[in-house]
Amino acid sequence: MSEIDIPEDHPRYQSLLTRHRIEAGVENGITSKQGLIAEGRGEAFDYLLGEQTIDSAAAAERAAAAALLLANHPVISVNGNVAALVPAEVVALATAVDADIEINLFNRTDERMTAIAEHLRKHGATNVKGLTANARIPGLSHERAKVDADGIGTADVVVVPLEDGDRAEALASMGKTEIVIDLNPLSRSARAAAIPIVDNILRAIPAITDAAREFEGASKDELAAIVNEFDAEDALADAEAAIRSGDRS
Ligand code: ATP
C-alpha cells in the first residue's frame, strides 16, 4: 500500500499512515525493528487520547515553540522512528526556530546513520549532525552516549522525541532544557522533561512550528512568560487523567 492509497477520509487515516511510514522505514533501513514496538506502544496511548491534541498538549507545544525561539543553540534530535514519520516536518521546524538537526540512535550503526541522513536530506535538510560523534553524554555506555560536540554537545535546548528514558534523564542531568514528545505520560523521558508534550509526533511537530511562526516578532519577555506559565507536572497529570478516564470526546 502506498501512501496515496490511503483515503484521507478513512476514520483511521492517521494511524494507517503512521503504520505505513514505520513499515517503509524498516524496509529502507531507517527504522529498527524495535521501532515497530515503540510505535505500537504509542498508538495505544494515542487511541485512548482520542487521537487528538488535548489542551494541555497544545499548551506544551506553545511553550516548546517559545523555549526554542529563546534558545541560543537549539537542537532537534532525530531517531529512526522520527525520521520515518516526520522528516519534512522536522526540517520545517528546524527552519522556523533556526535549530540544528542531529541524528541520535539507540541502536547506532553506520548504515542506519547514513540512511537517515540521506532521507533527511531528501526532505530538505541541509546540515545533518550526529555523524561526527566527537562528544559524549556523561553517564551512558559508549555507543549510546555519542553526540556531536557542535550539536547536542553544546545545545542549551534539545527536542527529544520518542526517546528512551535513560538518555532523556542523562541529557537533563547535563543541564539542558529538554522538550520531550512522548505519548506515554508515565515514561521516564516525559518525566525528565522541562516541557513534556503528550501528543502524537505527527501532530506535535507541525503544531510547534505553527506556534513558532505565530510568535515571530514577540519580545523575549513575552516568550519567557509563555514558557514560565507552563507547568510540566500539571500537563503530565492532565494527560494521565485523560488516558485513564477513557473519555475520548
Ligand atoms: P521510558 O524508557 O522513557 O520509560 P520506554 O522504554 O517505553 O520509555 P521506548 O519504547 O523506547 O520507551 O520509546 C517509545 C516511546 O515513544 C513510548 O513511550 C511511546 O509511547 C512513544 N511513541 C511511540 N510512537 C509515538 C508517536 N508517534 N508520537 C509520540 N510518541 C510516540
Q: What is the residue with the minimal CA distance to atom 7 of ligand 1?
A: 187
Q: Cβ of 103: how many Cβ atoms within 10 Å?
A: 28
Instruction: Quote the CA–CA distance of 182 and 13 in Å, as a whole number.
Output: 20
Tens of pLDDT along 188-220? 999 999 999 999 999 999 999 999 999 999 999
The gap from C-alpha 115 to its chain's centroid, in whole angstroms, comes to: 19
Provide the b/e sequence for 42-79 (b: ≥16 CB within 10 Å).
bbebbebbebebbebbbbbbbbbbbbbbbbebbbbbbb
Classify the phi-psi angles of 59: left when phi > 0, otherwise alpha if psi is within -120 to 50, otherwise beta.
alpha
Q: What is the residue with the minimal CA distance to atom 3 of ligand 1?
A: 165
CATH for 55-245 is: 3.40.50.12640
- Phi (first) and psi of residue 27, to 5 degrees: -60, -35
Of the candidates 68, 126, 64, 59, the residue with the CA atom closest to the CA atom of residue 99: 68
Q: Cβ of 241: how many Cβ atoms within 10 Å?
A: 13
Atom of ligand 1 nearest to the CA of 168: 3
Strand partners, 23: none
Span from the CA of 41 to the centroid of ligand 1 (angstroms) = 7
Span from the CA of 188 to the centroid of ligand 1 (angstroms) = 10
Grid coordinates standing for 178?
529538554
- Phi (first) and psi of residue 98, to 5 degrees: 55, 55
Cβ burial of 204 (10 Å; 0-12, 13-18, 19+) is buried
Tens of pLDDT along 11-47? 888 888 899 999 999 999 999 999 999 999 999 999 9
Among 187, 208, 236, the mutation site with the greatest number of ligand 1 atoms within 8 A of its Cβ is 187
Q: Give the relative orientation of helices 33-48 and 13-27 as an angle to the nearest 10 degrees.
A: 170
Per-residue pLDDT in tens (0 to 9) along the chain, 249 residues: 456 577 888 888 888 889 999 999 999 999 999 999 999 999 999 999 999 999 999 999 999 999 999 999 999 999 999 999 999 999 999 999 999 999 999 888 999 999 999 999 999 999 999 999 999 999 888 778 999 999 999 999 999 999 888 989 999 999 999 999 999 999 999 999 999 999 999 999 999 999 999 999 999 999 999 999 999 999 999 999 999 997 766
Ligand 1 site, CB within 6 A:
38-39, 41-42, 45, 85, 162, 164-165, 181-184, 187-189, 200-201
**Alpha carbon distances (Å) from 222 to 59, 70, 81, 237:** 15, 10, 34, 26
Q: Are 143 and 166 in contact (CB under 8 A)?
A: no
